[in-house]
A and B are shown apart, each in its own frame.
Chain A
Amino acid sequence: MTAPQKGSFEVLMKIKDVIAVLNAEVLSGENRLEEEVKWVGAADMMSDVLSLGRPGMVILTGNNSLQALRSSVVTEILALVLIRNKPVGPEVIEFAKKNNFILLRTAHYLFATCGKLYQQGFRGIDEKPD
């Protein structure tokens, strides 16, 4: 990928950039990799996803339950990234595919996952204006 300028809010970053930075595996939503990422967040509590998640946001999580997917789809976030290569049940992938939802998985742990994305210029909703 072309490295975006650090800390810049203007650089257009896409799902495929997230995949490159995290060396992530695409479990669902292969046809949506060109979509723009506006924010990144991390949450394991689904109520946090429901209250803070929004369209254009990528959420990093260790929560591999079907509920995590449902919350994500209802909230209309852009993508969910599972950390630490967490196992994913077939029903979870099936649900993601049915909703054409972007589900990614990386081997990195949460801290490193956050750090790598931050380093590339991705920001959360507390730092980046709408």
Chain B
Amino acid sequence: MKSRIDLGKYASLFQDLKASEIMTKRVISLGPEKKMAQAKEMMKIKRISGIPIVDDKHHLLGLISIQDIIVALEFNRIKEPVKSMMATELITIKTDDSLMEIVGKFERFKYGRFPVVDEKNKLCGIISREDIMHGVLERFNLIHTHDAKRRLKLEGDHSLVTGQDLDPEAASFHFVIDTSDVNSAGTGSALLKQFVGGKGIPAETARRVGISCYEAETNVVIHSKGRGEIYCFLFEDSIIVRVVDNGIGIEDIEKAMKEGFSTAPDYIRELGFGAGMGLVNMKRFADKLVVFSEKNVGTQVEMMFFLEREKPEKPKPEIPQEPIDILF
């Protein structure tokens, strides 16, 4: 095995780099009453090796690591709440700690990652060796050139399909997706379907909205590793549904659009997902679909449904006839 890079040697070059700039802000955390079994599942699904435990105000209480899971399995304590097994004496990093201090902690304590907290002990992020490397490389401008236009698109409040303004505040329906629990995937879509149904939208359109949104929502839960939201905008002649997340993004949208292509882990397949039909189904049931994704920034799926197009039940052909609009 190669020896690790001596991070300390370079740290002085980046003295003004703060923890808040290099930390990963999307942290998967759990409440203290959750079971060890849930922590185990979460680590498995999200492929992470540690989960910070926080109270309802997001104050850091402890940390569950893979070692804790192994102990829980070995001594049959997997059904106990995480609070009974979490490490509580934690080495943390403060948001304004300098790179030098951070590197010092890595060298001294030999942990793989450290939680980042503010002055009130609220969890703000997490830093791994990889984050440090990215932070440093970013300084060098090697991996990331800031693309103002792209950022504007992803954070902008206008439709990806029509370009019209879509103020999230003005959405007729809004739902925050709970990405911590695979079993809750689909809750938002069921509510959305109910909502549009109650607005006098024809049943078949409501069904199309429900199915497409369901696929998008499960994608956020299974793949994004971030947090996501559903917005719905009702217009006289159309419905726009946006499902947005701040997760890892889609590596290759063209591949993802192929029927049968899936990156879902086995656990997800056992639930009946991961057939590689998600985007294909969205394309099938929505009249317009735009997917916009940037690696490590997030994904936006926007679907448009025309209201006048109520046809007798005749499914569209299995394979999409035209490629979707892909924006990079």
In the complex, B314 has a CB within 8 A of chain A: yes
Q: Who on chain B is nearest to A76 by CB?
A: B207
Q: Who on chain B is nearest to A99 by CB?
A: B190
Q: Are A54 and B272 in contact (CB under 8 A)?
A: no
In the complex, A112 has a CB within 8 A of chain B: no
In the complex, B195 has a CB within 8 A of chain A: no
- Are A74 and B186 also in contact (CB < 8 A) when A46-B272, A67-B272, A68-B272 are? yes
- Are A71 and B210 also in contact (CB < 8 A) when A47-B281, A54-B313, A130-B314 are? no
In the complex, B185 has a CB within 8 A of chain A: yes
In the complex, B275 has a CB within 8 A of chain A: yes
- Give 1 or 0 for each of A65-77: 1 = CB within 8 Å of chain B CB: 1111011011110
> Cβ of B271: which chain A residues have Cβ within 8 Å of it?
46, 63, 65, 67
- Give 1 or 0 for each of B268-293: 1 = CB within 8 Å of chain A CB: 00011101111011001000000000
In the complex, B294 has a CB within 8 A of chain A: no
Q: Are B273 and A47 in contact (CB under 8 A)?
A: yes
Q: In the complex, what distance in Å separates the CA atom of A50 from the CA atom of B281?
A: 8
Q: Are A48 and B214 in contact (CB under 8 A)?
A: no
Q: Are B189 and A74 in contact (CB under 8 A)?
A: yes
Which of the residues A45, A50, A66 comes within 8 Å of B214, measured between beta carbons?
Answer: A50
- Are A130 and B313 also in contact (CB < 8 A) when A46-B273, A47-B273 are? yes
- Are A66 and B183 also in contact (CB < 8 A) when A47-B281, A48-B275, A130-B313 are? yes
- Give 1 or 0 for each of A114-130: 1 = CB within 8 Å of chain B CB: 00000000000000001
Q: How far is the CB of B42 from chain A (nearest CB, A)?
A: 17
How many B residues touch the partner, as a band? 20 to 34
Q: How far is the CB of A129 from chain B (nearest CB, A)?
A: 11
Q: Are A73 and B190 in contact (CB under 8 A)?
A: yes
Q: Who on chain A is nearest to B209 by CB?
A: A74
> Cβ of A49: which chain B residues have Cβ within 8 Å of it?
272
Q: Are B277 and A71 in contact (CB under 8 A)?
A: no
Which of the residues B187, B215, B312 comes within 8 Å of A47, measured between beta carbons?
Answer: B215
Which of the residues A54, A55, A67, A75 comes within 8 Å of B273, measured between beta carbons?
Answer: A67
In the complex, A2 has a CB within 8 A of chain B: no
In the complex, A44 has a CB within 8 A of chain B: yes
In the complex, B160 has a CB within 8 A of chain A: no
In the complex, A51 has a CB within 8 A of chain B: yes
Q: Are B275 and A47 in contact (CB under 8 A)?
A: yes
Q: In the complex, what distance in Å separates the CA atom of A68 from the CA atom of B189?
A: 14
Which of the residues A45, A67, A76 comes within 8 Å of B185, measured between beta carbons?
Answer: A67
Binding site for B on A (CB under 8 A): 44-52, 54-55, 61, 63, 65-68, 70-71, 73-76, 130
**22 residue pairs A–B, Cβ–Cβ below 8 Å:** A44-B272, A46-B275, A47-B215, A47-B276, A47-B278, A48-B275, A50-B211, A50-B281, A51-B281, A54-B313, A55-B313, A63-B271, A65-B272, A66-B183, A67-B183, A70-B190, A71-B186, A74-B207, A74-B211, A75-B210, A75-B211, A130-B312
Closest 5 CB pairs of A and B: A47-B277, A46-B272, A47-B275, A70-B186, A45-B275
Given A65-B183, A68-B272, A75-B211, 9 more pairs with CB closer than 8 A: A47-B272, A47-B273, A47-B275, A48-B275, A50-B214, A65-B272, A67-B272, A74-B186, A76-B207
